[in-house]
Amino acid sequence: MSRHSTSPEASLRHVQRPAGSLGLIRQVLADGGPGFCQFAINNACNAGCDFCSFNLDILPRKDWSFAPLEKSIAAIDILLGHGVRYLVLTGGEPMLHPDLYGIIGHAAGRGMAVILVTNGSRLTEDGIRTLKESGVSSVIISIDAASAAKHEENRKLPNVCERIKKANALLKAHRIQCTASVTMSRLIDDYGALPPFLKSLGFDSVTFSYPLTTLRSSFLGHADSPLVSYDPEELHRTFDEVKKLKRRIHVVNPTASIEEMQRFLRKEPQRFPCLGGFKYFYLDWNFLLWRCHFWETPICSIFDFDDSRRIRDGCTRCMIDCYRDASVMQHVGVAVADATMHLRKGRAGAAVKALFNREVLDSLKSVVEGKAWINRI
């Protein structure tokens, strides 16, 4: 039997722990710190969300595709070799993947922090225990509204909120961080009602997904739906509502990033270039590597990836939260790496310019704002 088919418990016996603070400092000085990859391990989904094209009614079972375990393991090793330390497993619904725990176990065993994004419908007591044994560090559960009735009607998953509530209690018992992921949509007519509803389900933190009506990559987490169609001024006001919630529940999206998105809507110059293609990547079930969900063409097959294919061009074309929010927080790390590079080449003035500016200060504030949540990952 291949070593890759061992149980999660066996995988944990070979865990390679991260290098710790010293290793992190070295990585920041070298190239700005650890990267992440969103790995969509399948396109299959058991939900019917109106604002998503993974929707079971749109993508039938005959078109479902699952990333094979052996290739997934090889891809993870390549990502690790290029500085990716955070692996976000998504889909579709990744808990439909027959080799989910093997994928988690291998990545965690190599020292990656593994984050699972799920609709929560398949979170059982045994499943959560196996997630813990496999080495998952954090779980993100999708929530669409401020009431169970509206959420379940959109998801077409009856009684899923009760399952999520029970799952949250079990996840906390296993010391696995769990965060609600809420898509900004017209299903939420009162953002003030969100914190009590989320807390009733057992959440103490929330990250907001910015509405998407179209994407150009293979990722299907979008739809031309009236639920996520806003005019810029209307969406600008909705971002203001999200900022107000920071006084009532921990909102993972940095304030500086939300304000960057408001500048995006006003067509004003952006202050924080996206690091997609440089520090962050999207890997699909066909093992095509993309700079992000939005881009039209993949970088290459993951098996052809090398450092020469990295992209750093200051892109600000989209407002996809997982890339833009992270870019704001990691801006300070990349600035440190840039300054270090300038100093090595004797360019002291350029080093000072790279480090001492308003963007670096606001990035540092964003890290402090999210430090407790980041530490729990």
The pLDDT assigned to 12 comes to 35
User: Which tokens go with 257?
Assistant: 């990033």
Mean pLDDT score, 2-29:
53
The pLDDT assigned to 26 comes to 87
Query: Cβ of 265: how many Cβ atoms within 10 Å?
Result: 16
Average pLDDT taken over every residue of the chain: 93
Residue 18 confidence (pLDDT) above 70:
no
Domain for residue 267, yes or no?
A: yes
Domain for residue 78, yes or no?
A: yes
Domain for residue 39, yes or no?
A: yes
Share of the chain above pLDDT 90, in %: 91
The pLDDT assigned to 20 comes to 66
* pLDDT tens per residue, range 238-259: 999 999 999 999 999 999 999 9
* pLDDT tens per residue, range 180-233: 999 999 999 999 999 999 999 999 999 999 999 999 999 999 999 999 999 999
User: Which tokens go with 53?
Assistant: 């094209």
Domain for residue 372, yes or no?
A: no
The pLDDT assigned to 23 comes to 78
Mean pLDDT score, 146-172:
98
What string of DSSP letters covers 295-336? -SS-SEEGGG--GGG---S-------HHHHHHHHHHHHHHHH
The pLDDT assigned to 376 comes to 87
The pLDDT assigned to 22 comes to 80
Domains in the chain: how many in total? Answer: 1
Domain for residue 333, yes or no?
A: no
Domain for residue 216, yes or no?
A: yes
Share of the chain above pLDDT 70, in %: 95
Domain for residue 309, yes or no?
A: yes
Instruction: Say which CATH number the domain at 12 has.
Output: 3.20.20.70
Domain for residue 352, yes or no?
A: no
Alpha helices in 135-284 (DSSP H): 148-155, 160-173, 194-200, 232-244, 255-265
**Which residues constitute the domain of residue 153?**
3-16+35-316
Q: How far is CA 347 from the centre of its chain?
A: 36
Residue 17 confidence (pLDDT) above 70:
no
Mean pLDDT score, 170-175:
97
